[in-house]
Structure 1
Amino acid sequence: MNQTSQAELPSVALSVLIVDDEPGMRSFLTKALASRFALIETAASVEDAEQIRRRAHFDLLIVDIRLPGRSGIEWHEALADQERRSDIIFMTGYAELDVAITALRAGASDFILKPFHLDQMLQSVDRCIERRLLKRQNLMLKRELSMVQTSTIIGTSDSMMELKQIIERVAPTPSAVLVQGESGTGKELVARALHQHSGRQGAFVPVNCGSIASDLIESELFGHVAGAFTGAKGSREGLFSFASGGTIFLDEIGEMPLSMQTALLRVLEQRSIRPVGSEKEIAVDVRIIAATNRELKAEVEAGNFRRDLYYRLNVLELIIPPLRERVEDIVDLTYFFTRQLATELGTQEVVWTHEDLMQLQSQPWPGNIRELRNTIERCLLLGKPPAEYWRAESQDSDIQTGQGYPDTWPLKAVERQHVQQVVAAHDGNKSAAARVLGVSRKTLDRKYKEWQQEDE
């Protein structure tokens, strides 16, 4: 069997626990296996090893059979743990056939007699690594095949399963839908799923209302006739016309100017549009799906959003939970994005360790799915598994002098300070900062304008 290429190993972040009561042997194996494993832990007894195993997953256990206290073969917790099963290589200085048979029956991957040549140990380790990687790759392929067969929306948590069921039930109707959720939760993905299950033959047309200048948005949506305004040399169809027979997705609907909200309300009521500069109404068959990361009810009360339009859009409200409230979906999302990004980037396919997945599940993810995907992409590009990536991030943060904000600061002051720090970190590039913060550039400009007015 070919040995696993050492050039491939750092990106898969394997882990090993060495259990031997001889300090020299623990030190020797630690040095010998350093190039093959991202995490190496050692213990002198089964009792100590079990304490370590409880707090971290290990792909491989290298265990001496004769140990003080319980023997290696009596490490029942590790041998019987099918959920967190590790490959096991047993070592012994006693060439007893019945001991070897007992070890193999107990679940050992290999059995090595002491003293041994280093090559013998490395060959045994590499065989275990190959088996481990093959199992992980098969598991990932099964997960991805299941995801493709069931839905393009990834997640099996109760909240996401309920969301999928609602989508399938309401998709065939022509009713307007309002999708709400934090930035990065996948609102456009939900809108696309509604369109795909609707049976509508027209196109799916996504529109980011926050990225279109307020004086151009009506022309973009409804089109215009020649001479309607300066520079309008010819007629032009709007996005509603392109979406006829299909679905138009109005993302960041909360950013839409009040004047445009009035025009959109007319479309919902009359099922027709009027191009800018035209006196004629054009009938359109368009299903409208709107989305926002704002609390639209609060915007209505503040007078920033029309109440009647809110109720016309909110025939059915779909709320996408933030990633922190469906932690159980992070593993499936991680497998999906890892496979997808490895193909897109042309990088080696990897499978993360249990430690990596636990690290991913422990993060707050303020940027939600978008932030998770960006983190996985960054890890693939840097060749750093998530656990190693966050260790480096933690070390970098320790170097910085800032350790948070005073408890006496109001939330508004914390928000301002954080936004300004992110913008400064991107050398004043507000567009790049907005992507990291999970807001539109228009929202960022509005924040700066408000702060400027407060300072004056």
Structure 2
Amino acid sequence: MTPKSANQSSEERANGDLAWPDLARSSILIVDDEPGMRSFLVRALRPRCKVVEAAADTIEAEQHLTERHFDIVIVDNVLPGKSGIAWLEDQRRGGVLADFILITAYADLDSAIGAIRAGAADFLLKPFRTNQLLAAISRCLERGRLRRENAILRHELHGSGAPAALRDRLTGSSRAIQATKDLIAKVAPLPSSVLFTGESGSGKEVAARSLHALSARASHPFIPINCAAVPSELIDVELFGSLKGTFSGANSSRQGLVAYAEGGTLLFDEVADLPLALQGKLLRMLEDRRIRPVGADREIPIDVRFIFSTNKNLVAEVKNGTFRSDLYYRINVLEVSLPRLHDRGADVLELAAGFMRELGLQLGLQPIPIDERIRAYLQSYSWPGNVRELHNYVERSLILGHFPTQLERLESLSDPRSRLLSEVERRHILAVLRETGGDRERAATILGISRKTIDRKCSSWNVSA
């Protein structure tokens, strides 16, 4: 017998898909022992959603949850052997952080309160119409999207080192960068992992973003994780999430960056700086495609593409025992080496002009003409800090209102008598520190590196202030 809730007006059928556009990318699991209700829910959702699976009991449902990620679980409160609320509590303890919509034929206050306490996102009373179901799902998807976007934004503000200007595409037409673009375009449609190598500031994150934008995952999140910037004691929670009450201060369950990247791309930037203990966890995640939130009883499946970058020689890191050989061979499916800015010819002029336009808009400042003298300097200077150094040089010029008189100082850094890159780097960082009066936080911002990196460098140079 067809349930009442299967009745749907012609207007709902005509306009429903347009009213809930997020449904098309959603994955939904239905758990209900009543065949009629199960059939109605499948018929209502399968044409509108990316994935819809149905289970007649909790055992079958848990098998589905083991096999793949679901955005939403719709569960009847009356199930054989266990209530939907009790089963929901079990799943939360197990680490399943999907949104749950509880459906029931009994509208008592205790059930509603119990559902909310257990962590249900919504509560539907039978019989309900198709548009009520779609509206509840849409609310869940919208809340989930906002949570994800807020988490990614907070992470980007604290972690991403790529300049906002032009960061989503590789700029330039030199032979060196064109070869890199061609290789990225070739590998982007494939699921393979990619390792970007190159000097600091050469554009590895920009290249990774370009790869993501060209892939089938472009409509899903791209999340960069700076392995050198995340404290080792927090990285488990940052990556995998945690359950409520797992540790002091964990007042609610939270998803990690891996879960927020579901369907998209995760970049492990400066992967060589990942501690050895966490390298093992990364290897297991890559092999099993599963994660275990901190405090969870079991692992949950993930669908994420992994990309890696480093400015270090990983073969040397493996030889000296600071990087696992099995992880190196796992991530080095395809290596894409980013060229130095100094080897990209006239690309420096195109990049400088682009930074001038973009930063001028961001800062609300009038762009400065790049005359022949500056063009000649831009092309002759060695740019040890690569694209990031160029970006910061243009930004300082805009703030000052002219290309700085420190030009001669910058030129002195490429003096043939100081050809060692380490010496050039040391002199440049110390010069910026002098400009900021020893303010390492400001110096890190100007240089486009982390405060932690400056602290480490100064310690190695015995510089205390």
Q: TM-score, normalised by structure 1?
A: 0.58
Equivalence for 1:156: 173
Equivalence for 1:222: 240
Equivalence for 1:198: 215
Picking from 256, 281, 289, the partner of 1:238 is 256
1:100-115 matches, within 5 Å, as none
Equivalence for 1:83: none
Q: Measured at CA, do residues 410 and 285 of structure 1 come closer, stay the same or move farther in structure 2, by a change above 3 Å?
A: closer
Q: What one-letter code is carried by the residue in structure 2 that aligns with 1:199?
A: A
SS in 1 for 2:392: helix
Q: What is the CA-CA distance between 1:431 and the residue it aligns to? A: 3.0
Contact 2:202 2:386 in 1 (8 A): yes
- 1:263-301 per-position Cα deviation (integer Å, ceiling 9, x unaligned): 110010001111112121110010011112222222222
Picking from 258, 276, 288, the partner of 2:306 is 288
SS in 1 for 2:366: coil
Equivalence for 1:213: 231
Equivalence for 2:135: none
Q: Measured at CA, do residues 181 and 266 of structure 1 come closer, stay the same or move farther in structure 2, by a change above 3 Å?
A: same
Q: Are 1:431 and 2:441 matched, yes or no?
A: yes
Q: Measured at CA, do residues 229 and 244 of structure 1 come closer, stay the same or move farther in structure 2, by a change above 3 Å?
A: same
Partner Cα distance (1:397, 1:337) in 2: 19
Picking from 155, 176, 182, the partner of 2:193 is 176
Partner Cα distance (2:271, 2:448) in 1: 16
Partner Cα distance (2:448, 2:312) in 1: 12
Q: Measured at CA, do residues 328 and 260 of structure 1 come closer, stay the same or move farther in structure 2, by a change above 3 Å?
A: same
Q: Measured at CA, do residues 375 and 424 of structure 1 come closer, stay the same or move farther in structure 2, by a change above 3 Å?
A: closer
Count of residue correspondences: 297
Contact 2:392 2:447 in 1 (8 A): no
Q: Are 1:330 and 2:348 matched, yes or no?
A: yes
Contact 1:182 1:293 in 2 (8 A): yes
- 1:167-225 per-position Cα deviation (integer Å, ceiling 9, x unaligned): 11100111111111212111111111111111114211121222211100011001111
Partner Cα distance (2:272, 2:174) in 1: 29
Picking from 284, 291, 304, the partner of 1:273 is 291
Q: Measured at CA, do residues 434 and 227 of structure 1 come closer, stay the same or move farther in structure 2, by a change above 3 Å?
A: same
Partner Cα distance (1:374, 1:346) in 2: 16
Picking from 278, 282, 303, the partner of 1:260 is 278
Q: What is the CA-CA distance between 1:412 and the residue it aligns to? A: 7.2
Q: TM-score, normalised by structure 2?
A: 0.57
- 1:34-89 per-position Cα deviation (integer Å, ceiling 9, x unaligned): xxxxxxxxxxxxxxxxxxxxxxxxxxxxxxxxxxxxxxxxxxxxxxxxxxxxxxxx
Partner Cα distance (2:414, 2:437) in 1: 21
Considering only CA atoms, is the larger Rg found in Structure 1 or Structure 2?
1
Q: Are 1:393 and 2:393 matched, yes or no?
A: no
Partner Cα distance (2:336, 2:421) in 1: 28
Equivalence for 1:374: 392
Partner Cα distance (1:413, 1:246) in 2: 40
Partner Cα distance (1:381, 1:152) in 2: 25
**Residue segments in structure 1 that go unaligned for 5+ positions in a row:** 1-147
Partner Cα distance (1:320, 1:414) in 2: 20
Picking from 441, 447, 454, the partner of 1:444 is 454
SS in 2 for 1:205: strand
Equivalence for 2:59: none
Contact 2:308 2:331 in 1 (8 A): yes
Q: Measured at CA, do residues 181 and 380 of structure 1 come closer, stay the same or move farther in structure 2, by a change above 3 Å?
A: same
Q: What one-letter code is carried by the residue in structure 2 that aligns with 1:188?
A: E
Partner Cα distance (2:372, 2:410) in 1: 24
